[in-house]
Amino acid sequence: MCTIIIITVYKSPTGNIAYFLNNLETALNQVYNNNTLDIILCGDFNTNYFNDNQNKQALNSLLTSFSLYSIIDFPTRIHNNLYTMIDNIFINKFKNENYLVSSLINHLSGHDAQVISLFNVIVTDGRN
């Protein structure tokens, strides 16, 4: 049996990246279990994955240590003809090879939503 934990985060555009990463690492250490746990980490990271930068490298370095990898490859925010990918979903792509991600234009904010579909996942009500 596998447990899936979904963690959502928000990092302010002006937030301290070291503080954010330290707290994220603390949270991941509390829930991480390589054998029976799948983590889906998603949210607004305010780190543009279209550009190679120090914040992206630091975030990737931390998340790969927990076997979490970015699966978004399309713009998540379009403003004044500027395309960015600052919202993201990270999963263990080696445990979850059968997935699909897509954009959901919701017209509710300047960010489009991301939708992940995981296939071959058995959902139980906890009584089995």
Report pLDDT digits (tens) over 49-65: 999 999 999 999 999 99
Nearest 5°: the CA angle 101, 104, 108 is 145
Nearest 5°: the CA angle 78, 79, 80 is 125
Is residue 37 within 8 A of residue 73, CB to CB? The reply is: no
How far is it, in rounded angstroms, from Cα 61 to Cα 103?
25
| Percent of the chain residues past pLDDT 70, beyond the cut | 89
Predicted confidence (pLDDT) at residue 82 exceeds the cutoff of 90: no
| Polymer length in residues for the chain | 128
- Which residues fall within 8 angstroms of residue 106, CB to CB, at 6 or more apart? 112, 113
Tell me which of 61 and 109 has the higher pLDDT: 61
How far is it, in rounded angstroms, from Cα 84 to Cα 49?
7
Q: What pTM was estimated for this model as a whole? A: 0.85
Predicted confidence (pLDDT) at residue 36 exceeds the cutoff of 70: no
The domain defined by 3-118 carries CATH number 3.40.50.300: no
Residue in the block written with tokens 């330290």: 22
